[in-house]
Amino acid sequence: MGALVKSDLRGFGLGVLATVLIIPGTAYGIILSGSISPRADEPIQPLERWAAENSLRAYLKSNTPKTVNPLKPISADLKAGATLYVHNCAFCHGYANSSTSKTAHGLYLRPPVFANDDLSEDEDGQIYWYIDHGVKLTSMPSYNKTLKEKEIWQLVLFVKNMKKLPPDVESYWTTAAAHPVIEQ
């Protein structure tokens, strides 16, 4: 091997090594420099939103179970779902009149309000997945340690049918905002 080729190879090797060290080194420096704002009262950065939305979408595409809700929309299960929702979810995802809570208003990623964002056409298995696992680094909790499988399906049933409830469940649901669990 000629001397020139050898030194070219050495140069190339050093270049690769420098790149491998410089990129993580710069990231490490930025993280520890205190220049990344941790404030929840600032708008979400476009790059942050792009990375979070696209990684979640790609993950859900290959990992969402296609399971269909084993429960049918009968009053008893809709009422159970509505009660679970009012007690655990409404202060973030909103009541029938779209009101939420002071807490939800202060979150960095504002939770979607289900009275406005219709989930009725979403896959049962995907809604179940959100409630079961939650979403990392957002305020969406995982409920698989605290709710039973049947209770999660009752919630899925309720959120998909909240615009077409039987009269007894409808009256519970539309008056629930007058008795908020957490201050509005």
Q: Are 94 and 114 in contact (CB under 8 A)?
A: yes
With respect to ligand HEC, which residue has the nearer C-beta, 19 or 145?
A: 145
What is d(CA 79, CA 23) in angstroms, rounded to the nearest whole number?
54
For 134, left (φ over 0), alpha (ψ -120 to 50), or beta? left
Site for ligand HEC in 120-139 (CB under 6 A): 127, 130-131, 135, 138-139
Among 10, 112, 148, 181, binds ligand HEC (CB under 6 A): 112
What is d(CA 153, CA 67) in angstroms, rounded to the nearest whole number?
11
56 touches ligand HEC (CB under 6 A):
yes
Among 82, 96, 115, 140, binds ligand HEC (CB under 6 A): 140
What is d(CA 139, CA 31) in angstroms, rounded to the nearest whole number?
22
DSSP 59: H
Among 83, 93, 96, 153, binds ligand HEC (CB under 6 A): 93
* Minimum separation from the CB atom of position 92 to ligand HEC (A): 3
Provide the mask over 62-91, with x wherever binding to ligand HEC is found by CB under 6 A and - wherever it is not.
--------------------------xx--
153 touches ligand HEC (CB under 6 A):
no
155 touches ligand HEC (CB under 6 A):
yes
Site for ligand HEC in 22-41 (CB under 6 A): none
Q: Are 141 and 130 in contact (CB under 8 A)?
A: no
Cβ-Cβ contacts under 8 Å for 90 (sequence gap 6 or more): 100, 176, 177, 180, 181
99 touches ligand HEC (CB under 6 A):
no
Tokens representing residue 17 in the block:
């090594």
Q: Are 85 and 159 in contact (CB under 8 A)?
A: yes
> Up-side HSE of residue 6: CA atoms within 13 Å toward CB?
3
With respect to ligand HEC, which residue has the nearer C-beta, 141 or 180?
A: 141
* Minimum separation from the CB atom of position 105 to ligand HEC (A): 11
| Site residues, ligand HEC (CB under 6 A) | 56, 88-89, 92-93, 109, 111-112, 117, 127, 130-131, 135, 138-141, 143, 155, 159
